[in-house]
Amino acid sequence: MRIAIYGYGNLGRGVECAVRQAPDATLVGIFTRRSPASVHPYGDIPVYHIDELLKYKDAIDVLILCGGSATDLPEMTPALATDFNVVDSFDTHAAIPAHFDRVQAAAAASGHTALISAGWDPGMFSLNRLYASAILPDGKDYTFWGRGVSQGHSDAIRRIDGVKDARQYTVPIDSALEAVRSGENPELTTRQKHLRECYVVAEEGADLARIEQEIKTMPNYFADYDTSVTFITEEELRRDHSGIPHGGFVIRTGRTGWEGEHKHAIEYSLKLDSNPEFTASVLVAYARAVCRLAQKGDYGCKTVFDVPPALLSPLSAEELRATML
Residues whose CB falls within 8 Å of the CB of residue 195, separated by 6 or more in sequence, listed in order? 170, 171, 173, 225, 226, 227, 228
Of 178 and 234, CB closest to its own copies: 178
Within 191-230, the residues that bind its own copies by CB under 8 A are none
Which residue type, as a one-letter code, is found at position 102? R
Q: Which stretch binds its own copies (CB under 8 A): 11-19, 64-72, 200-208, 233-241?
A: 11-19
Q: 247 - beta bridge partners?
A: 271
Is residue 164 near its own copies by the rule CB under 8 A? no
Q: Which stretch binds its own copies (CB under 8 A): 158-166, 212-220, 234-242, 307-315?
A: 307-315
**Binding residue for its own copies (CB under 8 A) from 1, 5, 7, 14?**
14
**Binding residue for its own copies (CB under 8 A) from 3, 278, 287, 299?**
278
Of 215 and 307, CB closest to its own copies: 307
- Judge whether 119 and 145 are in contact, CB under 8 Å: no
Within 98-127, the residues that bind its own copies by CB under 8 A are 100, 117, 122, 124, 126-127
Is residue 47 near its own copies by the rule CB under 8 A? no
**Binding residue for its own copies (CB under 8 A) from 42, 152, 220, 235?**
42
Is the bond preceding residue 186 a cis peptide, omega within 30 degrees? no
Q: How far is the CB of 169 from its own copies (least distance, A)?
A: 17
- Which of 271, 273, 272, 253 is closest to 263 using CA atoms? 253
**Binding residue for its own copies (CB under 8 A) from 74, 76, 129, 248?**
129
Is residue 263 near its own copies by the rule CB under 8 A? yes
Of 54 and 320, CB closest to its own copies: 320
**Binding residue for its own copies (CB under 8 A) from 54, 59, 70, 135?**
135
Is residue 262 near its own copies by the rule CB under 8 A? yes
CA dihedral 110, 113, 118, 122 (to 10 degrees): 70
Residues whose CB falls within 8 Å of the CB of residue 143, separated by 6 or more in sequence, listed in order? 121, 125, 129, 248, 249, 250
Is residue 21 near its own copies by the rule CB under 8 A? yes
For the purposes of burial, counting CB atoms within 10 Å of the CB of 165, is it exposed (0-12), middle (13-18) or buried (19 or more)?
A: middle
Within 67-86, the residues that bind its own copies by CB under 8 A are none
Alpha helices in 95-150 (DSSP H): 96-110, 124-135
- Judge whether 86 and 77 are in contact, CB under 8 Å: yes
Is residue 133 near its own copies by the rule CB under 8 A? yes
Alpha carbons 286 and 18: distance in angstroms, whole number:
12
